[in-house]
Amino acid sequence: MRIYLSGPLFTEAERRWNRQLAAALEDRMTGAEVILPQDFTFDNSFNDPRDFPKIFETCLRTLREADVVVAVLDGPDVDSGTALELGVAYERGMPIIGVRTDYRESQERGVNLIVAQACTELLRSMSFAEDTTLLAKDLAAKIVAALRRAGKTG
């Protein structure tokens, strides 16, 4: 099973958290491969503007090849790249599991209502626990349930 992890990836803390969540999901779910767009590089460069078109295309291609999307929805508003990836996944009928650890309130369960409605499942887990393993356990259950409902093996 290929899981595309969509979310902010611009700070060291965001990238580290994404990597911890990916590892915890892979440990929890036998055979799962978590795709981290933050690892897409060309010529050992992460931020060369000449590579931006290739990074964009690689993100969309691997997103389309995934079985399910896990979208990190933290922050006062959802990351714009994540919002685009959610739209692509939604239009393709892919299961989307939104995860929000941010305790700030917004429209629907802490998330913009359009984003929340695009999610097959929305997991709200307050950040105070700081337990990625427990979060991955809860997230894995939602992934399996969403894949079963979509008629895919989970």
The answer to whether 36 touches 23, Cβ cutoff 8 Å, is no
- Per DSSP, the three-state class of 5 is strand
Mean pLDDT value across the chain: 90
Give the C-alpha separation, 143 to 3, whole Å.
Answer: 9
Does the reported pTM lie above 0.85?
A: yes
- Per DSSP, the three-state class of 72 is strand
Note the pLDDT of residue 108: 65
Q: Which amino acid is at 53?
A: P
- Record the tokens describing residue 76, joined without a space: 């006062």
Please give the CATH topology (third level) of the domain spanning 2-149.
Rossmann fold (3.40.50)
pLDDT tens digits for range 95-153: 999 999 887 776 666 688 889 889 998 888 876 778 899 999 999 999 999 999 988 86
Q: Which amino acid is at 24?
A: A
Helices (H) and strands (E) in the chain, counts: 5, 5
How large a percentage of the chain has pLDDT more than 90? 65
* 49 against 35, higher pLDDT: 35
Note the pLDDT of residue 104: 74
- Cβ neighbors of 130 (< 8 A, separation 6 or more) are none
Note the pLDDT of residue 45: 73
